[in-house]
Amino acid sequence: MKIAIKTLGCKVNQSESDVLAALLINEDISLVAFEDQADWYIINSCAVTKMSEKKTRQWISRALRNNEKSQVILIGCYSPLYIRQFPLPQPRLQVIDSPEKIKKVMEILNLPWDESFSSKVIPETERARVWLKIEDGCDHFCNYCIVPHLRGSVRSEEPEKIIRQATHLERKGVQEIVLCGINLGMFGKERENTNLIELLENLVRVTNVVRYRLSSIEPFLIDKEFLDRYFSLIPRACPHFHLPLQSGSDEILLKMGRGYTTQFYRELVSSIRKYDNEVAISTDIIVGFPGESEKLFTETVEFCQEIGFSRAHVFVYSPRPLTPASQWDESEGVPSTIKKDREAKLLKIIRDGQLIYYRSFIGKTLSVLVESVNGNQDVTGYSENYIPVHGDGIEVADYGRIIPVFINREQNGILLGKIIQNRKSVIDSH
Give the whole-angstrom CA distance, residue 156 versus residue 190. Answer: 7
CATH number for 297: 3.30.750.200
Task: Dump strand ranges (E) for 238-396.
Answer: 240-242, 280-287, 311-316, 365-370, 381-383, 388-392
Shared domain for 286 and 310, answered yes or no, is: yes
* This prediction's pTM: 0.93
pLDDT tens for each residue of 361-388:
999 999 999 998 876 657 899 999 999 9
Domain end point (choices 79, 95, 115): 115
Does the pLDDT value for residue 175 go beyond 90?
yes
Q: What is the pLDDT, as a whole number, of residue 403?
A: 94
Pair type for strands 211-214 and 176-181: parallel
Q: What is the pLDDT of residue 219?
A: 97
Instruction: Among 223, 238, 253, identify where a domain stops.
Output: 238
Cα→Cα distances 175→23, 163, 214, 371, Å: 23, 15, 14, 11
Residues 150, 76, single domain; the answer is no
Amino acid letter at 108?
I
Are residues 138 and 233 located together in one domain of the fold? Answer: yes
Number of domains in the chain: 4
pLDDT value, residue 95: 96
What percent of the chain stands above pLDDT 90?
85
Residue 427 inside a domain? The answer is: no
Does residue 121 fall inside a structural domain?
no
Is the CB of residue 296 less than 8 Å from the CB of residue 249? Answer: yes
| 428 band by pLDDT with thresholds 50, 70 and 90 | low
For 133-180, give the DSSP string.
EEEE--S---TT--HHHHH-S-EEPPHHHHHHHHHHHHHTT--EEEEE
The β-bridge partners of 383 are 368
Least confident of 43-52, 108-117, 261-270, 418-427: 418-427
Q: Is residue 322 part of a domain?
A: yes
Please indicate, yes or no, whether residues 18 and 94 belong to a single structural domain of this protein.
Answer: yes
Task: Classify residue 430: in a domain, yes or no.
Answer: no
Pick from 291, 295, 241: which is nearest to 265 by CA? 241
Domain span holding position 332: 245-360
295 and 265 in one domain?
A: yes
| 338 and 387 part of one domain | no
Distance in angstroms (rounded) separating the CA atoms of residues 265 and 304:
11
CATH number of the domain where residue 6 is located: 3.40.50.12160
Among residues 238, 264, 281, the one where a domain terminates is 238
Within 10 Å of residue 97's Cβ, how many Cβ atoms? 17
Tell me what pLDDT residue 98 has: 84
pLDDT digits (tens, 9 = 90+) for 248-300: 999 999 999 999 999 999 999 999 999 999 999 999 999 999 999 999 999 99
Q: What share of the chain is helix, strand, coil (3-state, %, to 5)?
A: 40, 20, 40
| Cβ atoms of 75 and 28 closer than 8 Å | no
- Residues 99, 142: one domain? no
- Same domain, yes or no: 56 and 105: yes
Q: Is 174 a domain residue?
A: yes
Listed in order, strand segments (DSSP E) in 300-376 are 311-316, 365-370
- Work out the mean pLDDT of the chain and round it to a whole number: 93
Does 87 share its domain with 169?
Answer: no
Q: Is residue 122 part of a domain?
A: no
274 in the same domain as 377: no
Please indicate, yes or no, if residue 165 is contained in any of the structural domains.
yes
Q: Are residues 14 and 52 in the same domain?
A: yes
Predicted pLDDT at 142: 97
Residue 307 domain-assigned (yes or no)? yes
Residue 351 CA to its chain's centroid (Å)? 20
231 and 154 in a common domain = yes
- Distance from C-alpha of 89 to C-alpha of 108, rounded to nearest angstrom: 16
